[in-house]
Structure 1
Amino acid sequence: MKKSKEIIGLPIISISDGTEAGKVKTVIINAEKGAIDYVVVDKGIQILSAKVIPVRYVLGIGEYALTIENEDAVSDISKIPEAIELLQKNIQVSGTKVLTKKGRLIGEIGDIYVNEDDNCSITGLEFIADITQKNIRIIPRDSVITFGKNLVVVRDDVEAALLDSAAQINGFCENAAQGSGEETGNISGEDKNASGAVSDMMEMKHREYLNGKTTTKTIYDEDGSILIEENTLIDDEIFEIAKEYGKVVELVMNNR
C-alpha cells in the first residue's frame, strides 16, 4: 500500500540495464476506475510534451524506486489520447473537499492510498476533518461515490466507516469481498490469480537481471543491521534474502 506522495519523486529504473529513465513527476488518475492510470516522467520538460508510463508496464513500486522492464515502457503523451484526456480532466483527489451524498461538507482529502500490486487502484483516502489536521482518518474506497475535480462525493454514513490506520484498509477490503456473495467471490479469485501472475513475472525479471551481478553498497534491514554487504555476488540465496526483507528494488538500484 502506498500514498501518492510516496510515489511522486521516485527514480524510475529500467531493470534491463539498470539505468534511470527519469523520476516520477506526478500521477494521472482515472476517476471512473478509481485508479492511477499513468505515471508522468520528470525529465525537465513541459507537461504537455511529457513522457508517461501506463501503469500496466510498471513492474514494481518500492521504497527506493519505481521499476520498469526497459525504456520502451515510456511513451510520449501526445501519442496516447486517453492520457491527454485524463490529464485535461485534472482529477487530483488530494486537497479536494469531501461532500456527502445529501450535501454535507465534512472535510477534505489529504492524500490517496493505492495498491501498487493491483494496477494502482485507489483503496482509501486520507480524510482531514478539521483545519488543524489533528484528526486524520481514512475513507475506504467502498464509501466513495464520485471522484470529481473539486469534490469527492461519499456515502452519507461515511463517518461510521472511517478507518484509523492504513493497516486496516486491507482488512476492510478482505471483509467486503468475503461478504459480497458467490459471484463477487469468483471474480475476486480471478483478479487475485491475475495479480499473482503479474507478481511472479516481476520477481522472475528482477531475479534474471540481478543474477551474477555484484552489490555496490551495503544494504541494511529495518533495524539497521547489515543484511547484504557491499561487493556481494548476487545469487538465488542473496535474492531470497532481499525478497524476504523487501529490499529487491534496492538491489536493482545498487549493483554492477
Structure 2
Amino acid sequence: MKKSNQFLGLPIISIQDGTEVGHVKSLVVNPKQGTVDFLTVEHEDWQISVRAVPFKKIVGVGAFAVMIEDRTSIFDLTEIPIANELVQKKITVTGAKLIDRKGQLIGEATEFFIDEDNGSILGVEIELQPKKVVLASEQIITYGRDLLVVKEESELNYLEKAEFLLTPSLEEAELEVAVSVETIEVAVEEIDPIKEKQIMLLAGRTTTKDIVTANGQLLFANGTTLTKEDVKNAQAHGPAVLAELSMNVVG
C-alpha cells in the first residue's frame, strides 16, 4: 500500500535496457472502478504529446522507482481514448470535499491510499480538526472532480491509521484460519509472478558497475554475469538494489 504522493516524481525504469524513461507526473483515476488506471509520464523530450503507462503494465513499484518491462509499455494518450477521457475528468481525490448521502459535509480528503499491485484505491485520509482519520473505499459511493459522496453514518467507520485498511474482516480472518496446512505449503512454494518476470529479464545479463547493498556491502562486482540465484539475491535486498541492478546491466 502506498500514498498517492509517493508515486509522484518517481523515475520510471525500463527493465529491458536498464534506463530511465521518464518520471511519474500524475495519477489518472477511474471514478467508476475506484482505481488508478494510468500514470502519466513526464520526459524532457516530450514537450507536446502526453504519454502514460497503464497500471497493468507496471512490473513493480518501490521506494526508488516504478519498474516496467520496456519502453513499449508507455503509450501516447491519442492511442488510448479511455485514458485521454479519464485525464479530462481530472479526478484527483486529494483536495476533494466529502459529503454524505444526506448532504452533510464530512471533511476534506488530504491523501489517498493505493494498492501498488493492482491500482485499487483502498481508502482516503480525511482532515478532521484537530486530527486526521482514514475512511475505507467501501464507504465511498461516488468519486467526483471536486466531491466524494460517501455512505450515511460513514463516521462510524473511521479508522485511526491507514494500516488498518489492510486488516482483514472477521469473515476473511475466519476463512484464513480454516485454510489447511497443505494449502499453505503449496502457496509458499508458488513463485511470485512479478519476481519471476524480473528473473527472466535479468538472468544472463552482465553488470557494468559494482552493485552494493544499502549498507555498502558488495553484492555483485562489475562484470558479473547474473544467474537466477543472483537476481533472487538482489530481490531479497529490496527494490532500490533491484532498480540499481536493472539500470547497470548489458547483454
2:152 is matched with which residue: 139, 156, 164? 156
Deviations 1:140-198 (Å, cap 9, x if unpaired)?
11111111111011122222211122221111xx317739x9xxxxxxxxxxx9xx98x
- Cα deviation for residue 231 of structure 1 reads 2.4
CA RMSD between the two structures: 2.6
Query: Structure 2 vs 1, CA of residues 242 and 34 (structure 1 numbering), >3 Å: closer, same or farther?
Result: same
The one-letter code sitting in structure 2 at the alignment partner of 1:63 is: A
- Cα deviation for residue 228 of structure 1 reads 4.7
Query: Structure 2 vs 1, CA of residues 147 and 177 (structure 1 numbering), >3 Å: closer, same or farther?
Result: farther
The normalised TM-score by structure 1 is 0.80
| Structure label with greater radius of gyration | 2
Q: Is the 8 A contact 1:210 1:252 kept in 2?
A: yes
Query: Structure 2 vs 1, CA of residues 32 and 8 (structure 1 numbering), >3 Å: closer, same or farther?
Result: same
Distance 2:236 2:102 in 1: 47
Distance 1:245 1:207 in 2: 14
Task: Provide runs of 4+ in structure 1 moved above 4 Å.
Answer: none
- Cα deviation for residue 250 of structure 1 reads 4.2
Q: Is the 8 A contact 1:64 1:250 kept in 2?
A: no
Aligned to 1:219: 213
Aligned to 1:75: 75
Q: Report 1 or 2 for greater relative contact order, CA contacts < 8 Å, sequence distance ≥ 6.
A: 2
Distance 1:210 1:18 in 2: 10
Q: Is the 8 A contact 1:144 1:154 kept in 2?
A: yes
Q: Matched residue of 1:49: which SS?
A: coil
Aligned to 1:107: 107
Aligned to 1:175: 169
Q: Is the 8 A contact 1:219 1:230 kept in 2?
A: no
Distance 1:122 1:38 in 2: 13
Q: Kindly tell me the number of residue pairs found equivalent between the two proteins.
A: 230
Note the 1:229-248 alignment, pairs <5 A. Answer: 229=219, 231=221, 233=224, 234-247=226-239, 248=242
Aligned to 1:122: 121
Query: Structure 2 vs 1, CA of residues 178 and 81 (structure 1 numbering), >3 Å: closer, same or farther?
Result: same
Distance 1:227 1:154 in 2: 50
Q: Is the 8 A contact 2:210 2:218 kept in 1?
A: no
Query: Structure 2 vs 1, CA of residues 15 and 98 (structure 1 numbering), >3 Å: closer, same or farther?
Result: same
Q: Is the 8 A contact 1:216 1:255 kept in 2?
A: no
The one-letter code sitting in structure 2 at the alignment partner of 1:147 is: Y
Q: Is the 8 A contact 2:139 2:150 kept in 1?
A: yes
Q: Does residue 50 of structure 2 align to residue 50 of structure 1?
A: yes
Query: Structure 2 vs 1, CA of residues 245 and 161 (structure 1 numbering), >3 Å: closer, same or farther?
Result: farther
Distance 2:231 2:166 in 1: 27
Distance 1:203 1:60 in 2: 9
Aligned to 1:187: none
Q: Is the 8 A contact 1:206 1:252 kept in 2?
A: no
The one-letter code sitting in structure 1 at the alignment partner of 2:169 is: N
Distance 2:140 2:155 in 1: 12
Distance 1:42 1:229 in 2: 32
Which 5+ residue runs of structure 1 have no aligned equivalent?
Answer: 182-192
Aligned to 1:63: 63
Q: Matched residue of 2:93: which SS?
A: coil
Aligned to 2:246: 252
Deviations 1:19-39 (Å, cap 9, x if unpaired)?
111111111100000001111
Aligned to 2:4: 4
Q: Is the 8 A contact 2:3 2:114 kept in 1?
A: yes
Distance 2:95 2:246 in 1: 34
- Cα deviation for residue 205 of structure 1 reads 2.4
The normalised TM-score by structure 2 is 0.81
Q: Is the 8 A contact 1:228 1:238 kept in 2?
A: no
